Structure 1
Amino acid sequence: MEITAELVKKLREKTGVGLMDCKEALKQSSGDMEKAIEHLREKGLAKLQKRMGRVASEGVIASYIHTGSKVGTMVEVNCETDFVANTKDFQEFAKDLAMQITASTPLYVKREDIPEDVREKEKGIYRRQALESGKPEKIVDKIAEGKLEKFYQEVCLVEQPFIKNPDVTVKELLEELIVKMGEKILVNRFVRFQLGETLEE
């Protein structure tokens, strides 16, 4: 397939990556746009792994209050420089995250944040469910691990499907932004408020 200037331009607009890198990615993927994006993401993330030890002390605190003012969120998203923190893409990502948290009620940023006792308790519940439904002992752990993966997708922000496009996860969205901005970016913490949720019945 011929790699046209129009195709290269389209990929550059989607990813923000340089023209030569876009052209090379399209060559490697035989003109397939989705594969080219994946190629650039992998290449960019590999390059950026070297930067992940750097300090990300800049960023923004974004908020979202849902219509009716009964539920809302504040989230802190960090990057390395004030320049990136002030870009439209970075700020929109942070606002989208605040909306995501408000709508999808995650409990943690990532699976590594889940306390071990919570993880073990969930796994124990899934094991018992599998045994009670008559599943053989030898596959019970495998079933429990599979259900644990679904649990992570529900309670961990970065593993949730993105509310504006459920075909991608928040983590994939974050990785795209990291590649585009060329900096370490991380979701640090969030707090979600729901009116009356701490009041006694």
Structure 2
Amino acid sequence: MADITTETIKQLRDLTGVSIMQWGIAAAYTHAGGQVVAAVVLACETDFVSKNELFGTLAYDIAMHVAAMDPIWINRKEVTDADTAAARSVFEKEVANVPEANRQKALDGKLDGFIKERVLLDQPFVKDPSRTIQGLLDEASQKFGEKVEVVRIERLSVK
């Protein structure tokens, strides 16, 4: 029988796309004298990464971003047909006076912009707008050698 090594487990994960262990960290950020609190659960594949100081800093920075930018969804997969239909109905009224030939393009642009502004992974990072949150996660995945993803966000506000 073959020995099971870290390398064989990594190969199995790579082949199947399934993580053997799910690790991560929860981070919170409080803003405006306690008026806004945001929390993020940032997941990774090993406890080694979850205990890394840079991983914790990334989670905290994303929590700060959530407090500042108030995203509704983590990724575009979370946007439901009902969400899209509700936004579309609002934007259809806004583009009603646009010439017919350009109306659909204007509607699509407004809808895409609305979703992009509210999807965490699509948002420009508040501390460095030249990078998106997805870009930060991609960089972290490359740095740590394993998948890093935001699995939950919450934002609470007094107002």
Asked if Structure 1 and Structure 2 have the same fold, meaning a TM-score greater than 0.5 normalized by the shorter chain, the answer is yes
Taking a change above 3 Å as real, the CA distance of residues 157 and 52 of structure 1, as seen in their structure-2 partners, is: farther
The number of aligned residues is 146
1:98 is paired with a residue of what secondary structure? helix
Give the drift of 1:128.
2.8
1:39-188 equivalence runs, <5 A = 50=14, 53-55=17-19, 57-131=22-96, 133-136=97-100, 138-188=101-151
Give the drift of 1:62.
0.4
Q: TM-score, normalised by structure 1?
A: 0.67
Q: For 1:148 and 1:178, how far apart are their aligned partners in 2?
A: 30
Could you say which residue in structure 1 is the equivalent of 2:11? none
Question: If you compute each CA radius of gyration, which structure gives the higher value, 1 or 2?
Answer: 1
Q: For 2:78 and 2:49, how far apart are their aligned partners in 1?
A: 26
Gaps (5+ residues) in structure 1?
A: 1-49
1:183 is paired with a residue of what secondary structure? coil
More relative contact order, 1 or 2 (CA 8 Å, 6+ apart) = 2
Q: TM-score, normalised by structure 2?
A: 0.84
Cα-Cα RMSD: 1.9
Gaps (5+ residues) in structure 2?
A: 1-13
- Looking at secondary structure, tell me which structure has more strand per residue: 2
User: 1:63, 1:95 within 8 Å by CA — same for their partners in 2?
Assistant: yes
Deviations 1:35-64 (A, max 9, x none): xxxxxxxxxxxxxxx478222610000000
Deviations 1:110-152 (A, max 9, x none): 1111121111121232233212x2321x432222221122112
Q: For 1:165 and 1:129, how far apart are their aligned partners in 2?
A: 32
Deviations 1:135-171 (A, max 9, x none): 21x4322222211221122211111110110111111
- Name segments (4+ residues, structure 1) moved above 6 Å: none
User: 1:51, 1:183 within 8 Å by CA — same for their partners in 2?
Assistant: no
